[in-house]
Structure 1
């Protein structure tokens, strides 16, 4: 198997038997995964040829970028939950469990830049905190 094909197989796995509901959609799910593999391999090969970079290094860089983007989204969601939710203040413990951050990490994960971005994107101001008298 070509290294790019192996990377595609690793990062776009086929579904396991019994993992698709309803079961009669398993073949469709496999077909979709195969299509994703092919597209991923084609894109990775094109990027490797265009940049003359090693495909594994490119795949790692892409994974790091995706991880950074996921972390940015988590910070925005935490800012939204803690600063913009008047109906229900989410307990730190619940936010910690959902985000994978520690409780102290939840309180320090976001700051003014994230609050400002959330405010701009949802077109409203943060809810004043009751403890901020």
Structure 2
């Protein structure tokens, strides 16, 4: 049985950009039409909610520090990473906790440097 032209056009609109086996959610190819407003949903709000501390995702923290995401996961697994919490499946990190963690790393590094300088004399 032949498909109608309308049916073929509808199916052509539903073709995806990526192959199905890629493990990535398929996105319908609708061009820049009615779903354009969804492209900015992941952007940070320019006006944070009063009383709430800003948080970063693992990928945002890794990008900020210039390290791979896996490094953050490895540090957390070893008990040497920043304190975080889960929101659904994603880890989040409070900016104050990240600053505290970085200060601890700097302090440990400084103590190690002073110990090396004193031992070498």
With the length of structure 1 as denominator, give the TM-score of the two structures: 0.34
TM-score, normalization: structure 2?
0.36
Give the structure with higher Rg (CA).
2
Larger relative contact order (CA 8 Å, sep ≥ 6): 1
* Higher helix fraction (1 or 2): 1
